[in-house]
A and B are shown apart, each in its own frame.
Chain A
Amino acid sequence: MRSRFFLGFGVLTLLFILSLQVLQQINMGVSTERFMINLGFGGILFFGSVISVFISVQTLYAEIENRTLIPLLTKPIGWTSVVLGKFLAMWAMLAVYVGVLGWILFGFVWWETGGQLGFGWTEFLYVLLAEWFFFGLLLAAGILFASYATSGLFAMMMLSIFWVLGHLQHMLAAVVRNEEPTVLEHILGAVQWFIPNFQVFHLSDLLTRGGVDILNVLMVLGVGSLFIGSYLLIARLFFSIREL
């Protein structure tokens, strides 16, 4: 939590949220609430993704390169505890990030709109939970890539590609609907089975367009948990056969 990188990006996100008051001067024709919610969550997503990508890979790599992981493995704890412990610690950091900044955003929007919000605090909480699970997915994928990559840079690049593909996952299925798909198109189509659809975790636009359904959110969180568990399990398998 005291990591300078994490604190620095947290402050950057906070400044971004506070700057919404100035940025709304260029808001054209939409409500203040919609503008601030969309842009605020965009900032939380962007900076949070950078934090997740960086800390998930660097935390493990720093420990492997500095050999500080080896004394830990001499203790009577298995790889499962190590992987799960690292993941939960990082996920807790992201929980603080999403929680603190999310509620600052809520308060800010509430103040700017004079308390006239089109959604309740419970719906806002559901959206924050979904975002938190999205960051959990990135963290778990980062640990997975770190488990077999031989350099931190490679793992971070893979995680960035994973981020892009996850946001386009819903379009990957469409590529194999061509009349005669090529081999590359078949591979891209197959990728959709291994990457979750990140779009379902970003529900902020529903706050200003009809509401957030708790059942849908529970399904999203359930799917997120399945993927997180799978990625961590595979990472654990790779770590157990990796030479440190």
Chain B
Amino acid sequence: MKRCRLLIVALCLLGSVGFASQQLLKETWQELREDRFKAKENQAETETGKELVWSLLGSFRYFVADLSFLNGYYHWQEQRHDESNLWHAWATSLDPDNLLFWQVRVRVIGRDTPVWEIEQIGWFPDVDPEIREKIFIEYAEKGLSVVEEALRYHPKEVSLWMDKGLFYEMRLKDFSKAAEAFLIAWELNKNFLPSGVMYLEMLRRMGDRAAAQEFLRNHPEFEKML
């Protein structure tokens, strides 16, 4: 009986300390959670698994991400695209702040993987152009979805916007979306000439001379750089 009473007193004491601590640390924890787990209030269910792994690995997740990336690089050298993409995805999942992981993942899935797949069918020039086109489009769409995910963590990264524009321009032939992406890349870094050049090229392909002239009027520094 004495033990039961003691246990009840103990549980009540702990419960009240736990409640008080949660109230005291509410704001501190919310800031830490958003920053550490990239989580927002009412986060979607699919992020729960990531938060679980990140919580248990702690600071080691960055090291595990590096090892995963190296493993993915090894499989890339062996042209095993499924394994390579899987390990690169794991690396970006563990350390989304690392830009290099995203850049490599986008380019492997969007540019290298379709070429390997075509080469598995046969000698590149001998494969039916329609089949080649279909494979390039399929992997360009996958690459685009990875770029969109990368832009969540690196919204001001010029190389990702350029990759997005190139996927739309080279594979999906959507010049208006490509132009949007190149324009954003230009606005982010006006010293990076290719983004401006590509934007003007997209306008030329769309036949939009007025927009091109407007761009050159608003950015006289561009003509000087050319």
**CB-based contact A230/B17 at 8 Å:** yes
* A42-B59 in contact given A28-B101, A219-B24, A223-B25 (Cβ < 8 Å): yes
B33 contacts the other chain (Cβ, under 8 Å)?
A: yes
Instruction: Output the nearest chain A residue to B68 by Cβ-Cβ distance.
Output: A28
B22 vs chain A, min Cβ distance (A)? 8
> B1-29: which have CB < 8 Å to A?
2-3, 6, 9-11, 13-15, 17-22, 24-25, 28-29
* Residues of A within 8 A of B (CB-CB), count: 48
Contacts of A205 in B (CB 8 A): 36, 59
Could you list some 17 contacts between A and B, CB below 8 A?
A28-B69, A29-B100, A30-B98, A35-B63, A42-B59, A46-B60, A171-B52, A193-B19, A196-B18, A205-B36, A216-B28, A219-B25, A220-B25, A226-B21, A227-B21, A231-B14, A237-B9
Number of interface residues of B (CB under 8 A): 45
B70 at the interface (CB under 8 A from A): yes
Least Cβ–Cβ distance between A113 and chain B, in angstroms: 17
The majority secondary structure among interface residues of chain A is helix
Known pairs A29-B101, A197-B29, A227-B17; A167 contacts B24 (CB<8 A): no
B106 to chain A, nearest CB (A): 14
- Please tell me which one of the listed residues B20, B55, B62, B63 contacts residue A226 in the complex, with CB atoms under 8 A apart: B20
- The closest CB in chain A to the CB of B103 belongs to A29
B140 to chain A, nearest CB (A): 25
Q: Does B59 contact A193, Cβ atoms closer than 8 Å? A: no
A234/B48 contact (C-beta < 8 A), A26-B67, A38-B62, A167-B55 known: no
